[in-house]
């Protein structure tokens, strides 16, 4: 790629979110400079992220708070933003109910066009690599791989795709030789070999900032780095997610969790900040489609490049 690509426009489905993010993107450098001591300690802790996770999370939250402290529509964004867990994140949800809701969520992503948007972006990031190994983290049902991996493989005959999650029951088994499913924690990546790209699809908003820092740092080992595809935080996005969950997903849990996802989600500028703290070079960051975002970041630096 020829330098970083910053998303310049969010379709008018949520102009408020676009305005907030544009202003915060301009502040990333200042926040990193003002928080240099926190950044330095984070990079020391990231050598063993699981051991210093609580401290990492404290620093990450402080840096994000600094980024969110000024700019337009700050109060509105603060009211939208929420850290309340989604229903499906609760261990009290019966497995049968969870699996049914996740299947409906997967179908909703297909019908709403999210999978098509994500697949195009993944294809762009893979470039001309003929035989990449894509390793997807916190994959849930692995819907993108199961529904569209074969199409991507027609253009890259050597494609291998691993979907991983802590919950093996949700993942299920794979009957395709190029698609593998396995149980893995997002902070247990250091022993993996032969991975070309780490992929995180609609999962980043489920993870605490400190865990994201650890994930980002470990993704430096992959030649193509890390691609994060997720929902974009915003008031109108939250409302539309709820409506889509009812109309297309036909599930109350999917509708309620859709709203909460858009409230828990990060803005592109916030993910760019965390990537920089983790020592990644941001190649692409910004809005994607009507309600999503993309972050592509690679290793090989200490995060000193502008996003």
Residue 220 belongs to a domain with what CATH number?
A: 3.40.50.150
Residue with tokens 């997903």: 249
| Token pair for 278 | 């983790």
183 within domain boundaries: yes
> Does a structural domain hold residue 303?
no
| Residue 305 placed within a domain | no
pLDDT reading at 118 higher than 50: yes
**Average pLDDT over every residue of 232-257:** 86
In a domain, 307, yes or no: no
Domain count along the chain: 1
- Looking at every residue in the chain, the average pLDDT score rounds to 90
* 306 part of a folded domain: no
- pTM to 2 decimal places: 0.92
Is 304 part of a structural domain of the chain?
no
- Give me the pLDDT at residue 4, please: 42
Question: Which structural domain, as residue segments, surrounds residue 60?
Answer: 5-298
pLDDT digits (tens, 9 = 90+) for 137-192: 999 999 999 999 999 999 899 999 999 999 887 787 677 899 999 999 999 998 99
63 and 38 Cβ atoms separated by less than 8 Å: yes
pLDDT digits (tens, 9 = 90+) for 202-229: 999 999 999 999 999 999 999 999 999 9
How far does CA 46 lie from the centroid of its chain?
Answer: 19
The answer for 146, left when phi > 0, alpha when psi is -120 to 50, beta otherwise, is: alpha
Question: How far is Cα 226 from Cα 284, in angstroms, rounded to an integer?
Answer: 11
- Residue 281 within a domain: yes
Could you tell me the two tokens for 15? 């102009």
Examine residue 271 and state whether it is found in any structural domain, yes or no. yes
Helices (H), the chain: 15-25, 28-34, 36-45, 53-68, 74-80, 95-111, 114-126, 143-155, 168-171, 209-218, 235-247, 252-264, 268-277
> Which single residue is written with the structure tokens 């036909």?
250
């Amino acid at each position: 790629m020829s330098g970083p690509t910053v998303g310049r426009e969010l379709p008018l489905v949520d102009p408020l979110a676009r305005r907030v993010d544009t202003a915060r993107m301009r502040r990333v450098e200042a926040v990193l400079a003002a928080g240099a001591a926190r950044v330095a300690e984070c990079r020391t802790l990231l050598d063993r992220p699981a051991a210093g996770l609580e401290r990492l999370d404290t620093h990450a939250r402080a840096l994000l708070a600094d980024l969110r402290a000024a700019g337009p529509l700050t109060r509105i964004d603060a009211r939208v933003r929420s850290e309340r867990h989604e229903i499906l994140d609760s261990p009290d949800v019966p497995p049968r109910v969870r699996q049914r809701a996740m299947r409906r969520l997967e179908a909703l992503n297909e019908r709403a066009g999210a999978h098509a948007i994500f697949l195009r972006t993944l294809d762009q990031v893979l470039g001309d690599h003929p035989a990449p190994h894509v390793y997807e983290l916190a994959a849930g049902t692995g819907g993108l791989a199961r529904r569209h991996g074969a199409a991507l493989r027609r253009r890259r005959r050597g494609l291998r795709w691993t979907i991983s999650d802590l919950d093996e029951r949700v993942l299920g088994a794979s009957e395709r030789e190029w698609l593998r499913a396995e149980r893995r924690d997002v902070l247990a990546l250091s022993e993996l070999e032969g991975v070309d790209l780490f992929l995180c699809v609609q999962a980043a908003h489920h993870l605490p900032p400190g865990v994201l820092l650890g994930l980002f740092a470990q993704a430096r080992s992959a030649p193509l780095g890390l691609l994060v595809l997720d929902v974009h935080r915003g008031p109108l996005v939250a409302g539309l997610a709820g409506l889509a969950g009812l109309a297309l997903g036909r599930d109350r849990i999917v509708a309620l969790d859709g709203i909460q996802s858009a409230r828990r989600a990060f803005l592109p500028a916030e993910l760019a900040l965390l990537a920089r703290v983790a020592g990644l070079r941001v190649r692409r960051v910004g809005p994607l489609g009507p309600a999503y975002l993309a972050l592509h970041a690679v290793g090989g630096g200490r995060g000193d490049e502008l996003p």
